[in-house]
C-alpha cells in the first residue's frame, strides 16, 4: 500500500509483544521449579495439578501472542487484510476458548472469584476474535474484489 507509514505505536507495540512472547516462554519453562516458591509466597499449598493448569494456560496465551506477532508482520508491511490474518484470528479465538475451559475446570476443583473472571474474560476474548475474524474476512473479500482477483 503506497503512502502508508508505520507509526511509533506500531513499533512500540511490536516490541511489547516480543517481550511478552519471550518473557512468557521463560516463565512457562521456569514454572515447574518456581511454583513451589510462588505457592509458599502466596500462602497456597504446592500442587502439581495447579502447576499443570497454569502451564497449560500459559502455553495457550503464548500461542495467542505468537499469532499476534504473525499479524504484526503484515501490519508493519502495510497489508493487514490478508487471509493469513483471518486464520490467525481464528486460532486466537480457539486458544482463548481453550484457556477459558481450562480455568472452568480449575473453578470446578478450586473456586476463586479471580478464576471465574479470567474464564469469562477469555470467553469474551474468543468471541471478540471470532467477530474480528469475520470483519477481516469481509475486508479481504472486498480488497480482492477491488483488486480484480475474484
Contact in structure between 79 and 87 (CB atoms under 8 Å): no
CA dihedral 55, 57, 60, 62 (to 10 degrees): -60
Q: What is the pTM of this model?
A: 0.87
pLDDT of residue 1: 45
* 97-143 confidence digits (pLDDT tens): 999 999 999 998 889 999 999 999 999 999 999 999 999 999 999 98
Contact in structure between 35 and 48 (CB atoms under 8 Å): no
* Radius of gyration in angstroms for the set of CA atoms belonging to the chain, rounded to a whole number: 19
* 21-47 confidence digits (pLDDT tens): 999 999 999 988 898 888 888 887 778
Angle (deg, nearest 10), helices 48-76 and 8-42: 180
* End-to-end CA gap in the chain: 19
Cα(115)–Cα(105) distance, integer angstroms: 10
* 45-104 confidence digits (pLDDT tens): 778 888 889 899 999 999 999 999 999 888 888 888 999 999 999 999 999 999 999 999
CA 31 to chain centre: 19
Cα(99)–Cα(54) distance, integer angstroms: 10
Cα(71)–Cα(87) distance, integer angstroms: 10
Amino acid at each position: 500500500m503506497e503512502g502508508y507509514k508505520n507509526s511509533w505505536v506500531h513499533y512500540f507495540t511490536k516490541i511489547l509483544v516480543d517481550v511478552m512472547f519471550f518473557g512468557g516462554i521463560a516463565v512457562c519453562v521456569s514454572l515447574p521449579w518456581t511454583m513451589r516458591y510462588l505457592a509458599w509466597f502466596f500462602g497456597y499449598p504446592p500442587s502439581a495439578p495447579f502447576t499443570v493448569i497454569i502451564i497449560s494456560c500459559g502455553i495457550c496465551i503464548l500461542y495467542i501472542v505468537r499469532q499476534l506477532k504473525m499479524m504484526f508482520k503484515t501490519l508493519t508491511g502495510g497489508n493487514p487484510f490478508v487471509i493469513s490474518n483471518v486464520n490467525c484470528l481464528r486460532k486466537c479465538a480457539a486458544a482463548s476458548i481453550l484457556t477459558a475451559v481450562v480455568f472452568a475446570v480449575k473453578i470446578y476443583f478450586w473456586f476463586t472469584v479471580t478464576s471465574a473472571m479470567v474464564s469469562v474474560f477469555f470467553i469474551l476474548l474468543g468471541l471478540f476474535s471470532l467477530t474480528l475474524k469475520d470483519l477481516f474476512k469481509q475486508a479481504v473479500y472486498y480488497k480482492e474484489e477491488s483488486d480484480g482477483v475474484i
